[in-house]
Amino acid sequence: MSTFEQDFDAIILSESHGGPTGTIVALCFHDAESPETPDGAEAVARYLQPASRQASVTGCIDNNSTVGCVPYGVTAWHSGAGSPWNGAIEGYEHSGYARQTSAEWLDPYSAAMLDRSARHFAKRCKALGIPPRKIGPDQLARAIATRNPADGGICGHYDITLAAGVYGGHTDPGPNFPWDHYIDLVRAY
């Protein structure tokens, strides 16, 4: 199994995080609500770096890099739902916006980013014993309750919002995100 340092192209550690995670049962796809630029992952990681942000993710991904922010086994503050959600889900920010159309999620920039992300998610699913499948709010809540990775999968931030009942919570990666295509990529790797 590879290490945190081996799994990322660069490391920009966040000062905001909690203690040790529990058993990880899901990987969360967040969109960063940021432009699709070649340094998008680095820009979001730097934005989340200071403790004053009170938010963090395991990593940030753009079309050409994967940046580690909170080491494996340490709780990132990304769910908006607090405990136990943060300690059971690894969160990853991706360049782009929840308002993107299906075509925008599949343009050349996004295609490269989704491929890079799918490779990383496939590696993490294998390492953590998480099935490479899309799960919805009910499945996510069940996985959180059982703390069994076999009950888990890959979710969007919106699934956390619904499962945890976060009023005014996030809706990313949005209604036009190509989940079937993305999960096929993860499974292929």
How many CB atoms within 10 Å of residue 119? 17
Q: Which of 124, 115, 97 is nearest to 30 (CA)?
A: 97
Tell me the pLDDT of the chain averaged across its residues. 97
pLDDT in tens, 17-52: 999 999 999 999 999 999 999 999 999 999 999 999
Predicted local confidence at residue 52, as pLDDT: 96
Q: How far apart are CA 92 and CA 182, in angstroms?
A: 14
Q: Which two tokens stand for residue 174?
A: 């949005």
Q: Which two tokens stand for residue 121?
A: 């998610």
Q: pLDDT confidence of 169, banded at 50, 70, 90? A: confident
Q: How far apart are CA 5 and CA 99, in angstroms?
A: 32
Q: pLDDT confidence of 167, banded at 50, 70, 90? A: confident
Q: Mean per-residue pLDDT for 166-188?
A: 94
Element (DSSP H or E) covering residue 128? helix 108-128
